[in-house]
Structure 1
Amino acid sequence: MEFHSCPRNHAQEIRAAAGSVLCAPCVEQLERTLHTLPGLHQEGLHHILSTSRRRNPTKVSGSRKRDHLNISALDARNNILAILESWAGYVVEKSGASVPGRSVPHLACFLIRHLEWLTAQPPAVEFADEVESLQVESLRAIDPEPDDQHAPVIGCVVDDCPGTINASPPGAGSAVRGSVSCTSGHSWEMRELLTIRHLMDRQRKDAA
């Protein structure tokens, strides 16, 4: 029987599991990470909108909550869905498996069921790295390091509007129902946030 080393970066050389590109610890960790992604995806929803705290909590008259758009949380959720869907598509194309549902829980369960097959394929390392990066990105968006809490300045997505959208430091404040607005008065409801993100991406591509 031929053995080979796990190609992922380990402190010491570890043999790959039988029939797998990856070693047994990597496969086990990959399965655990896939199990966490549906929960992280749901948790990220509660961090997309965050409310800044009033500087003077005793002042009531004239005080007003301001909603901020947490771009990091929005991106993390979008990336989980997109990357899991991409790998599920790979499994369907290469193995002939039935197409799974498009929700994150369905996609994660599908990939776990086909994990033994996936980890025996040439892109197994890329798959493991991408799944691990999804977990790291989501955790940073939900519970950021102090050094990461810097709010970017985001231009309004409405054509010719000079306003900016309030973007919170990742995970700042507590999630609330409501809307997000630009400094010139344009506003969007929670259900429209994904559309806003697509428009921001288009702006960046046009600028490039």
Structure 2
Amino acid sequence: MPFNTAAADARAAILTVLSSWSGLIARERKLAPPARTVRSLVEFAVRHIDWLTAHFAAADLTREVAHLVRGAQQVVQPGAGRRVVVGACMEPECSGTLVAVVLPREHGEPNRIVCTADHGHAWPEHEWLRLRHRMERGQTRTAVPSVARTIRWLSAADISHLWHVAPGSVYRLASEHQWRRRNHSGRTYYHEADVHHALSRRVTSV
């Protein structure tokens, strides 16, 4: 059988990170380190999880483990992308949770936010800004991916990413539709409402 390089790399990364954190536990708690196998390292870390979570570097541990999980998932389900919990579904009487499915760029399919209870409750990328406003009005805490979470003025790169428009076309559309704009640190930003009004109609008509 062919050698799975991606799986080997993921396993090596897991072993390296677990060894590092287990070594920290052993040094600071004056304990004998565990055997350098994934199973032994995980069991050792779990036994000391209360101490680890109280450590000043606990946030770094969380980030590193999350990165390892994403890497392993890409090996098991290549092209599956990552999932980000957004918040409660905004549709009336729906008890589901909204999850952003962020796919690798080479996947060729648009990213989307989908309800876990009803897949008919879904928002493609170009609707994320509108969804954010709706969630804010409903006072629902949101974790919509950063490009759609905090921006009122959009750069050409933001617009290109959200609506899958070639960057060169953004400037043409801005001129045609007379989008409001402002400059900051040498970059041009366009008014979110103008962009959404023009491009949402464009997507709907396709």
Provide TM-score, normalisation by structure 1.
0.37
Q: Which gives a bigger RCO, structure 1 or 2 (Cα 8 Å, sep 6+)?
A: 1
| TM-score (ref. length: structure 2) | 0.38
**Larger Cα Rg: Structure 1 or Structure 2?**
2
Higher helix proportion (structure 1 or 2): 2
